[in-house]
Structure 1
């Protein structure tokens, strides 16, 4: 053991010298502790991703989204929006997980996207704030299916078949994309007439492949061995956009837009539509007047049925001069007002006698949808149709208003009424039947999240689809419970509704008009639809737009646009090495 130093006999100068020495040693020791330790691990270097080493396939994706935080589904190039679009978010996610590799993506301006080379198609173009539970897109993505081998014919004649060498290597003239590789076979579908076919291209040479199919290809299961597209994308997408399923075998010549034969929408609303007030606070209300807040559901059903069939819906849409549409006829297969199960507890106060319509029996708030099935729809068509139904439901218009607006000879120009709000609208489903199926039964073989042996965790496991949806639901459920509890609390405080008395000179001065929003609009004295100012005719709107854009007329713009749309696309050039 070291002998203990007796500092009591040291001089002051010597003590100071010793303290200074100890401080220096302590600083050096502390400095050594702060220095990073030498790591013997190899530094992580991200390997360059080579798309040419991967096969591709055309699939369809079924997705759902809550549209409140988005500027609609479709992205418009060169048109920045205050909120992102669904397409923009999807494109970023697909790039992040390297399922697509579009041309020149690194040179695109911020916020721009490029679907070139992906055979992208979309079924519906929902507006800002609109939701979808059954949106469908089609596109070509990276696949796990092994690439075929290409061999040198002369070398094979001399040395025999190569052993695992000679995998196809090509380059693209303007970068990478997911176009079908030269000489590769498209994944076939048992549900369509499409058969396995090689890619066509200036450098494609299927005759140089070593046999019709390699051993690895023959063992490949196009579903079980494929990339879990839905799970992979849901990991990088925001929680209010979810991939619900993927279709490995779309129908022959599949296009999400043109192969769809039926689109289904639902517009959700409550009954009552907004908070009613006690009878004593209303002026001029009697048994023949629809009580504020409550809708006449039967009158709405009568009006909704008038939409069914083939009609010209020019008075139920917004005309876009840029589209130069001349045919406004659309076929509606089904149109009705349906009661649905409310997913939340009902607020009880509105079922009290002071808030119910005169002569009405006790009832609780309900939830309804305007359910609509049609072949295709015009811009804002559904929201215009709903707006008219709400006017009928409030007793402001008769059901016959629908017939009047559908009569183009009587009403060639749309009256300037307001369309319904966007948030309650849902693109509910997109149907892809056989062309000759009058019943329009969907034939797409969807693979939903969790389907297949060993995949249940992707739906119900930790971090699975149900976990993320539950989180989204719970956040909104807590908000709903807080707001509902506050409503019930406030209505129970103070005087009872039957004791309220309206003060002199405080009669209602404005008509409340429900448009699907959280609160009704005050519109002064209501002006019937057929007495509102008329908008310009679609022909006049198209003509003005065309002239403003430098064309001689609308007819000239349609001709020029047709030529541009049908211009042969730029070929993707494959250069063999």
Structure 2
């Protein structure tokens, strides 16, 4: 009888609704167990839950710490700023450790801590939901392994422009669906936000998800002024180097912070002179007029393959980008902290202080490290190592189809200044900033003042020390000049031309935007330098190292067959 399923004898069910197994024989009980096991295996095989796609986590009896089904949600846009120095760029890297946290890591952490977005749901192999708490160490601590709680798809999360390590942003924009104070419509209040109509005992009602109410009577009135104070909530949880500035309550339908953005503006700051000089010598200043002339050649639609870093992982073939504006702008109203010539009058100090400029660049989209490559060429022009026409030569890909070898500019002075949208579609709401308690994190003005004050004090102290050292060197130089002139009058020997004079090294100092210049050997013009391989060769070599599955989906040929364009889907921002 082994393996044969025996139908158990009919037993009258007790009032509790359970089966009374006390009167069953041993063989009948064994057969019943096998029958139930067989049914369970069949149900699991037919289930839509795939065993290999489940993340196995320890079971927990803890209840979820927040019930998002009790609230409505809405898609909003956030405008925020950050100082890039302490971060490993904007984008969070799932599954990889970075030396510094990313800006998105801190933003995701704040969104989760504020319960503005739901954590990602995980299932056990048996289909039950894992209820492990997101905040195992309390709400004030960081979130351990934050990547497993991030669900960009359900959050409808999009970002405008990616910035790399060290790069700052003053007008970054993201779109995200967040918890709202909006009351639920009447059907939602009765059934629950995600309830099915089939749960209601009404056979005449069609089954399926609840549709939004079509009449105004079904949805209570709600004004955005009664909404959750998103800006204040997030600033309370974010570090002082990341500040949310505004929010857009009603972005257009299917809003994407990336694709709805019409233009992006970058500023790259630099000083003139760009580096310290020896006391008694004239500072090496940049030729601003020549840089302005060269910058204007960037404007218009051009192929920038020689002015970016080739990202073979994206298999890009179209490097044309449109630049709306490119210019060199002087920063005014900056109080000097030291003079290039010590012991001068106040007016003379104003005239001799290091000046600050920025390269302003506006365009619809940019390639990887494009801005920093463009700035590097402008610095060479400003040093008179290259003529402004070198920009034209680099943009002429017919005569220069491959990129010459040269270094891009430093990352720290670069700022994503603003992301521009249609003002009729994206209307920013800037909350009042004078209601927060002093010294609190949500006090945007106070926290930024503290950041500026500390940095300015450091600048004043270091500037004063630098001025003192310049003064001491100037005094020493004058004393040596007097002594040398005295020796010359007494002996008639000019020691300044002695054989002990140091030999000047035959090298070139290159400005790259960092605090100190970089020393190279004899300078070689850009057009005479060695070249990289063609874009086609770089793309093919990268694709050859990838799997066949990857090549069938992402190679240049596969993308061309699927009609995927580089300009919209796979362009990089700085």
TM-score computed with the length of structure 1 as normaliser: 0.72
The 8 Å contact of residues 552 and 558 in structure 2, kept in 1 or not, is answered as no
Per-residue deviation at 1:528? 1.6
Per-residue deviation at 1:278? 4.4
Q: Deviations over 1:312-371 (max 9, x none)?
A: 000010011111111100000000000012544242125899xxxxxxx95432110000
Equivalent position of 1:511 in the other structure: 508
Equivalent position of 2:161 in the other structure: 124
Equivalent position of 2:447 in the other structure: 468
Return the alpha-carbon distance in structure 1 between the equivalents of residues 560 and 235 of structure 2. Answer: 38
Per-residue deviation at 1:138? 0.6
SS in 2 for 1:448: coil
Per-residue deviation at 1:495? 4.5
1:486 aligns with 2:465: yes
Which residues of 2 match residues 230-269 of structure 1 at below 5 A?
Answer: 230-269=231-270
Match of 1:549 among 519, 523, 546: 546
Equivalent position of 1:193 in the other structure: none
Aligned residues: 449
Equivalent position of 1:162 in the other structure: none
The 8 Å contact of residues 147 and 167 in structure 1, kept in 2 or not, is answered as no
1:368 aligns with 2:357: yes
Match of 2:309 among 318, 329, 332: 318
Equivalent position of 1:332 in the other structure: 323
1:446 aligns with 2:454: no
SS in 2 for 1:224: helix
Return the alpha-carbon distance in structure 2 between the equivalents of residues 118 and 563 of structure 1. Answer: 31
Equivalent position of 2:50 in the other structure: none
Equivalent position of 2:192 in the other structure: 168
Match of 1:417 among 398, 406, 410: 406
The farther-off stretch of 125-134 and 477-486 is 477-486
SS in 2 for 1:493: helix
Match of 1:457 among 420, 435, 440: 435
Per-residue deviation at 1:51? 0.1
The 8 Å contact of residues 350 and 365 in structure 1, kept in 2 or not, is answered as no
The 8 Å contact of residues 270 and 357 in structure 2, kept in 1 or not, is answered as yes
Per-residue deviation at 1:470? 1.0
Return the alpha-carbon distance in structure 1 between the equivalents of residues 207 and 538 of structure 2. Answer: 45
Return the alpha-carbon distance in structure 2 between the equivalents of residues 202 and 260 of structure 1. Answer: 40
The 8 Å contact of residues 410 and 514 in structure 2, kept in 1 or not, is answered as yes
Match of 2:70 among 40, 43, 53: 53
Q: 1:351 to 1:405 in 2, by over 3 A?
A: farther
Equivalent position of 1:521 in the other structure: 518
Which residues of 2 match residues 83-482 of structure 1 at below 5 A?
Answer: 83-104=100-121, 110-112=145-147, 113-150=150-187, 166-170=190-194, 203-206=208-211, 212-214=216-218, 217-218=220-221, 220-221=222-223, 223-278=224-279, 293-341=284-332, 343-350=334-341, 363-433=352-422, 444-450=426-432, 456-458=434-436, 463=441, 464-482=443-461
SS in 1 for 2:324: strand
The 8 Å contact of residues 279 and 473 in structure 2, kept in 1 or not, is answered as no
Return the alpha-carbon distance in structure 2 between the equivalents of residues 442 and 309 of structure 1. Answer: 26
Q: 1:555 to 1:49 in 2, by over 3 A?
A: closer
Q: Deviations over 1:375-417 (max 9, x none)?
A: 1000000000000000000111110110000000111111110
Per-residue deviation at 1:103? 2.1
Return the alpha-carbon distance in structure 2 between the equivalents of residues 253 and 169 of structure 1. Answer: 21
Gaps of 5+ in 1: 1-44, 152-164, 173-200, 281-290, 354-360, 434-440, 567-577
The 8 Å contact of residues 123 and 137 in structure 1, kept in 2 or not, is answered as yes
Match of 2:87 among 53, 63, 70: 70
SS in 2 for 1:474: helix
Q: 1:211 to 1:461 in 2, by over 3 A?
A: farther
Return the alpha-carbon distance in structure 2 between the equivalents of residues 494 and 556 of structure 1. Answer: 61
Per-residue deviation at 1:478? 1.6
Q: Deviations over 1:258-302 (max 9, x none)?
A: 01110000000011111122466xxxxxxxxxx763100000000
The 8 Å contact of residues 543 and 554 in structure 1, kept in 2 or not, is answered as no
Q: Which has the higher helix share?
A: 2
Match of 1:533 among 527, 530, 534: 530
SS in 2 for 1:457: coil
Q: Deviations over 1:28-73 (max 9, x none)?
A: xxxxxxxxxxxxxxxxx99931000011011100000000011111
Return the alpha-carbon distance in structure 2 between the equivalents of residues 245 and 488 of structure 1. Answer: 41
Equivalent position of 1:159 in the other structure: none
The 8 Å contact of residues 449 and 458 in structure 1, kept in 2 or not, is answered as no
Return the alpha-carbon distance in structure 2 between the equivalents of residues 292 and 485 of structure 1. Answer: 19
Return the alpha-carbon distance in structure 2 between the equivalents of residues 301 and 540 of structure 1. Answer: 35
Q: Deviations over 1:185-209 (max 9, x none)?
A: xxxxxxxxxxxxxxxx9832327x5
The farther-off stretch of 494-503 and 408-417 is 494-503
The 8 Å contact of residues 279 and 470 in structure 2, kept in 1 or not, is answered as no
Equivalent position of 1:15 in the other structure: none
Return the alpha-carbon distance in structure 1 between the equivalents of residues 235 and 560 of structure 2. Answer: 38
Equivalent position of 1:287 in the other structure: none
Q: Deviations over 1:411-441 (max 9, x none)?
A: 11111100000000000000012xxxxxxx6
SS in 1 for 2:314: coil
Per-residue deviation at 1:459? 9.3
